[in-house]
Amino acid sequence: SIKENKAEQQAINAVPGIKDNETRASEWGKNYPRQYDTYMQTRKSEDITDVLKQDPALVVMWAGYPFSKDYNKPRGHYYALEDNINTLRTGAPVDKITGPLPTACWTCKSPDVPRLMKRDGELEFFTGKWAKYGDEVVNTIGCGDCHDNQTMKLTLTREYLKRGLDAEGSLKTADATHQDMRSLVCAQCHSEYYFKKTEWDDKGTKKTAMVVTFPWNKGFAAEKMEAYYDELNFSDWTHQLSKTPMLKAQHPDYETFVTGVHSRNGLACADCHMPYVREGGVKYSSHKVGSPLDNIANTCLNCHKGTEKEFRATIDKKLARKNELAKIASDVLAKAHLEAAKAWEAGATEEEMKAALQDIRHGQWRWDYAVAGHGAFFHAPEEILRTLGGSINLGQDARLKIRIVLAKHNAVDYVAPDFSTKEKAQALVGMDYGKLVEEKKTFLNGLRQEWIKQGEAKGIYDPESRKDMKLKTSYN
Amino acid sequence: SIKENKAEQQAINAVPGIKDNETRASEWGKNYPRQYDTYMQTRKSEDITDVLKQDPALVVMWAGYPFSKDYNKPRGHYYALEDNINTLRTGAPVDKITGPLPTACWTCKSPDVPRLMKRDGELEFFTGKWAKYGDEVVNTIGCGDCHDNQTMKLTLTREYLKRGLDAEGSLKTADATHQDMRSLVCAQCHSEYYFKKTEWDDKGTKKTAMVVTFPWNKGFAAEKMEAYYDELNFSDWTHQLSKTPMLKAQHPDYETFVTGVHSRNGLACADCHMPYVREGGVKYSSHKVGSPLDNIANTCLNCHKGTEKEFRATIDKKLARKNELAKIASDVLAKAHLEAAKAWEAGATEEEMKAALQDIRHGQWRWDYAVAGHGAFFHAPEEILRTLGGSINLGQDARLKIRIVLAKHNAVDYVAPDFSTKEKAQALVGMDYGKLVEEKKTFLNGLRQEWIKQGEAKGIYDPESRKDMKLKTSYN
Amino acid sequence: MKYLAIFLVVAVVAVFANLVHESKMLSYLSSDPKVCITCHTMNTHYDTWQHSSHRNRATCVDCHLPRDSFVNKMLAKARDGYHHSLAMTLKTYGPNLRISNDAARRIQDNCISCHRETVSQMLTNSALYDKVEDGRVQMGRPCWQCHRDVPHGTMRNLMATQNNFINKVL
Ligand SMILES: [Ca+2]
Ligand SMILES: [Ca+2]
């Protein structure tokens, strides 16, 4: 009522009292119940969408790389840590030093990460295997990832973002405005990265850190990052079938967003993904970071006229356009890998294959850049379609070159085998999927349970953060 | 002052007194001086931009078709008739029955066309060679193309548009609103067309008309029109090099515009290309149909915030994206034609080539659809980039298939020759350009001059409409 | 039943009286824009108007209420006043208010009445057609399809005017 509104307008601005290094959201939430409640609602986005099943070509394209084992669409922040631990990508370590992945894989999953970086130093944090910190990284993405505990100001808790921004140059960290910060807190994680091998000296001991690094020195565009990687002669892995030195793009959400119309009009991620909501006379940011389409009335319609239905239709159309070109590209690239494998088998030389492999590297990079950011079809539709057009061209160029090699080795009629289901594709690349799942389950029932207990014992783990968690994976 | 304004207002509302079938703009202009003055300013857009020079691949892609001889970017409506007569495409007829082109080529160049359609009947109008009406189609695009002479209401003077709209179905002619009409008058000409061969009976004599027809029955998208043409087994010509039954897309401005964001928000062509301007106290429609960028303040900035510089930058970026993919596509397709020619030469069979030629047909159609509307990169950037992505894929698919055929005929190493300049490309397709120009000049100094004189004699020609006209062509 | 009826009547009167008091409803009879912002839901619109070219040219009622006759004006005012009060009390409104068809028609009439000279050619043009895009408004096309910023700007969420009239929790 009108009277209530007046009262509510006054009842605000409680003074925070949050301990340093507090990583438990429920503790912060005591002071900020509205933000906490909405934050906890990210668990409503709980469905697993298996991308490898949707487009099995990806299994072929990533052969020899963890992504070929398991890759899903993102869910709510509530699940970030859980999914990281459950994915087949992180494998089944049995102790602190078994792999396959490095500590860096925790980086974007928890506020325990900045805590550990402070405690152990950034280089030590990035040294060793993932399992090393299993009993320390115990809370999913939370307040401490984005806020300063003293002032509640938005803050960057990851140094590598600051280094990335400063190297890129168009927005130096020191110049970031409040509105910029409403995007940059997201850019800490929603950006393309690679692990930079860094030798360092720990009081006399030589160690090797795998430091999360943003490849931004030459710019944000697909071609610019490609040039950066080429110059370093960097590759994420060598493709199992085609032997191409490959690049993997991971969610360049921020980099593509800035090319889009909303960024050019001054919007930040939080404008759509954390819109202001009103309760009585009070407004606050919804911390239910998720699809803005769940709340079109309070996001799009703040600035646009039209109906929810119209906006859904517009977005569907954009998605369909992206999917059309992305599907062409993945089909072309998967075939290129298989045809290259055949060429090697038929006796092709490195010299003969070199140019084609370079095309595969660049073509697949562009495709990945365009699709790995799941929102980019909307954030930056034109840039994405442009990049996919380039990807298709390079992929086909590679196939043309390989076809000539095949002809020279008497295999001009080779037809790539069928990879139309996830199972067929996994069989093609010789993956023992059953075994991966078995090992993973052993890990989940064993070491993983230990981690929870140890976290609890140390008093850093927040049981609230996994309340009613159900095991949902692509394989169970 | 207010007094002045009132006076001006009365002048503008004067009752028109325009004769039926009046095609001379200066006569209409006596009643509507503001509209006439701005209309005459379309002559300020006078520069010829030779597209074949910009991208010589087009000469190869259109080999055997008039477009390979001469193709420029559009200029102002003031030049429509002039350019139609001057282009090498219309050749050098010597009398009323020499070709190469049909009467249909006048269709979108003059208000004399609806006059003749009324006088002779639509089918008679579309029968015979272009030169047949050289002394009747004498005034460039003018008032009578868009307005009713009694009421000044916007009106559709071309029946084929009505047939097209009704067949397509999403906007039936009878349902067109005032705002729709502000686009539909343009759609009479700014649409993709083909000449439908139509046998008819002229009081006992069998005649064949080439009727301008819009291929819209299945929809406006590139794929839909393609399906329409495929179903009819229609082709505009058979490619000189690759022997492909080709399709030519001409300026699908309207069809692509409707997929874009401005159309979805209810805008019409006239909103940007004929913005309201204010003189004294009254707003009227600028009839200087041209680039809205000449008047950003009255167009974009009327609805958008921002600076002229920002809008120019946005548009440049869109253009660069389109150009990037369009250049890839034209390069791929030109090579496909040359490689196909080589395959034929090496002894390929129809059976071997069939699938590849189908890919060329579809790939080039999509490219043409995307680029032939010169504003589509802005009107509908996403649809254009999507279509170009598909074009590149099909073009490369064709090349892959042809490469296999080449391999079978011992020509796997064939490299397409250089077509990097207009001259080289014309030489490649064996065009005697010098001769074309000579013949054209003879025509321009001979028959063409006759036409003007006869028009004058008949009292239908408006000398004002060519006041200070300078001969500008790509070849002089 | 009888008691229930009496209770209901009393309740309705009480609610209404409270409403009249709390919302300073009687002040609605004035044409001072400040009247409209007795409800915080109108703050954004007040604020955007106040920063607009029309600040010194037209008040809320100049655009939003009929200007043809005093009776129509008062009738519309009563209707809107009732509707808005009810919505305010029951909180049936969302973060973005949308102009009603009736109100759109009135506004357009008012734009035209002030700018009749300027738009006379447009009126003449539109008079030629029966089928128009937007049947709600005179001329078939709202002025604010082009003049998108007049006078409220394009962003009108009730929380859009930062910190002015509504407190942000921290
Ligand atoms: Ca990467
Ligand atoms: Ca055509």
Q: Is the pLDDT of residue C164 over 50?
A: no
- CA dist list (Å): C76 to C73, C79, C93, C138, C143: 5, 5, 20, 18, 22
Q: Is the pLDDT of residue A233 over 80?
A: yes
Q: What is the mean pLDDT of chain A?
A: 95
Q: What is the 3-state secondary structure (H, E, C) of chain A?
A: CHHHHHHHHHCCCCCCCCCCCCCCHHHHHCCCHHHHHHHHHHHHCCCCCEHHHHCCHHHHHCCCCHHHCCCECCCCHHHHHHHHHHCHHHCCCCCCCCCCCEHHHHCCCCCHHHHHHHHHCHHHHCECEHHHHCCCCCCCCCHHHHECCCCCCECCCCHHHHHHHHHHCCCCHHHCCHHHHHHHHHHCCCCCCEEEEEEEEECCEEEEEEEEECCCCCCCCHHHHHHHHHHHCCCCEECCCCCCEECCCCCCHHHHHCCCHHHHCCCCHHHHHCCEEEECCEEEECCCCCCHHHHHHHCHHHHCCCCHHHHHHHHHHHHHHHHHHHHHHHHHHHHHHHHHHHHHHCCCCHHHHHHHHHHHHHHHHHHHHHHHCCCHHHHCHHHHHHHHHHHHHHHHHHHHHHHHHHHHCCCCCCCCCCCCCHHHHHHHCCCCHHHHHHHHHHHHHCHHHHHHHHHHHHCCCCHHHHCCCCCCCCCC
Distance A341 CA to ligand 1 centre (A): 24
Task: Please compute Rg for chain A using Cα positions.
Answer: 23
Residue type at A125 in one-letter notation: F
Please, are residues B88 and B82 in contact by the beta-carbon 8 Å criterion?
no
Distance B249 CA to ligand 2 centre (A): 4
- Residue-level pLDDT at B443: 98
Across the interface, do C169 and A283 touch by the CB < 8 Å criterion?
Answer: yes
Across the interface, do B403 and A403 touch by the CB < 8 Å criterion?
Answer: yes
For residue B367, count CB atoms less than 10 angstroms from its CB and return exposed for 0-12, middle for 13-18, buried for 19 or more: buried
C90 in contact with A, Cβ within 8 Å: no
In angstroms, rounded to a whole number, what is the distance separating the alpha carbons of residues B314 and A85?
A: 43
Tell how strand A194-202 and strand A276-279 pair up. unpaired
In angstroms, rounded to a whole number, what is the distance separating the alpha carbons of residues B173 and B176?
A: 5
In angstroms, rounded to a whole number, what is the distance separating the alpha carbons of residues B143 and B31?
A: 12
- Residue-level pLDDT at B23: 96
Please, are residues C43 and C156 in contact by the beta-carbon 8 Å criterion?
no
Tell how strand C167-168 and strand B282-285 pair up. unpaired
In angstroms, rounded to a whole number, what is the distance separating the alpha carbons of residues A301 and A311?
A: 9
In angstroms, rounded to a whole number, what is the distance separating the alpha carbons of residues B65 and B237?
A: 7
Q: Is the pLDDT of residue A215 over 60?
A: yes
| Cα–chain center distance at A244 | 23
Protein residues near ligand 1, an ion, with CB under 5 A: A 194, 248, 250
- Residue-level pLDDT at B287: 98
Across the interface, do C96 and A34 touch by the CB < 8 Å criterion?
Answer: no
The 10s digit of each residue's pLDDT in B6-42 is 545 555 555 567 999 999 999 999 999 999 999 999 9
How many other CB atoms are there within 10 angstroms of residue A341's CB atom?
Answer: 22
In angstroms, rounded to a whole number, what is the distance separating the alpha carbons of residues A390 and B325?
A: 7
Confidence tier at A76 by pLDDT (50, 70, 90):
very high
Distance A92 CA to ligand 1 centre (A): 23
- Residue-level pLDDT at B461: 95
Give the residue with greater pLDDT, B4 vs B66: B66
- Residue-level pLDDT at C167: 47
With tokens 């064993």, the residue in question is A446
Q: Is the pLDDT of residue A374 over 70?
A: yes
Q: Which residue of C has its CA nearest to B173?
A: C131
Average pLDDT over residues C133-146: 95
Please, are residues B21 and B116 in contact by the beta-carbon 8 Å criterion?
no
Confidence tier at C47 by pLDDT (50, 70, 90):
confident
Whole-number percent of chain C with pLDDT over 70: 75
Across the interface, do C117 and B276 touch by the CB < 8 Å criterion?
Answer: no
C118 in contact with B, Cβ within 8 Å: yes
Q: Tell me how far apart the terminal alpha carbons of chain A are, to the nearest angstrom.
A: 49
Q: Which of A2, A32, A34 sits opposite C22 (nearest CB)?
A: A2
Q: Which of residues 325-344 of B touch A (CB under 8 A)?
A: 325, 328, 332
Least confident of B248-257, B413-422, C53-62: C53-62
Q: Is the pLDDT of residue B361 over 70?
A: yes
- Residue-level pLDDT at A1: 44
Give the residue with greater pLDDT, B279 vs A163: A163
Q: Which of A281, A301, A303 sits opposite C166 (nearest CB)?
A: A281
- Residue-level pLDDT at C38: 81
Q: Which of A12, A152, A302 sits opposite C157 (nearest CB)?
A: A302
Confidence tier at C72 by pLDDT (50, 70, 90):
confident
Q: Tell me how far apart the terminal alpha carbons of chain C are, to the nearest angstrom.
A: 49
The continuous run of DSSP H or E covering B470 comes out as none
Q: What 3-state DSSP class applies to B194?
A: strand
Domains and CATH numbers, chain C: 9-165 (1.10.3820.10)
Q: What is the mean pLDDT of chain B?
A: 95
C120 in contact with B, Cβ within 8 Å: yes
Confidence tier at A160 by pLDDT (50, 70, 90):
very high
Distance B68 CA to ligand 2 centre (A): 15
Please, are residues C37 and C46 in contact by the beta-carbon 8 Å criterion?
yes
Residue B141 falls in which region: left (phi positive, over 0), alpha (psi -120 to 50) or beta: beta
Q: Which of A332, A386, A392 sits opposite B324 (nearest CB)?
A: A386
Average pLDDT over residues A182-209: 97
Q: Is the pLDDT of residue C1 over 90?
A: no
The 10s digit of each residue's pLDDT in A174-190 is 999 999 999 999 999 99
In angstroms, rounded to a whole number, what is the distance separating the alpha carbons of residues B40 and B466?
A: 10
Whole-number percent of chain B with pLDDT over 90: 95
In angstroms, rounded to a whole number, what is the distance separating the alpha carbons of residues B366 and B387?
A: 6
Confidence tier at C7 by pLDDT (50, 70, 90):
low
Distance A192 CA to ligand 1 centre (A): 5
On whether the pTM is more than 0.80, the answer is yes
Average pLDDT over residues A161-168: 98
Which residues of chain B make contact with C140, given a CB cutoff of 8 A?
177-179
The 10s digit of each residue's pLDDT in A433-472 is 999 999 999 999 999 999 999 999 999 999 999 988 999 9
In angstroms, rounded to a whole number, what is the distance separating the alpha carbons of residues A208 and A196?
A: 10
Across the interface, do B385 and A385 touch by the CB < 8 Å criterion?
Answer: yes
Q: Is the pLDDT of residue C67 over 90?
A: no
- Residue-level pLDDT at A7: 46
Structure ipTM: 0.92
Whole-number percent of chain A with pLDDT over 90: 92
Q: Return the C-alpha torsion angle B328, B333, B335, B336, nearest 10.
A: 140
Q: Which of A283, A298, A301 sits opposite C166 (nearest CB)?
A: A283
Buried/exposed A149-178: b ≥16 CB within 10 Å, e otherwise = beebebbbbbebbbbbbeebeebeeeebee
- Residue-level pLDDT at A204: 95
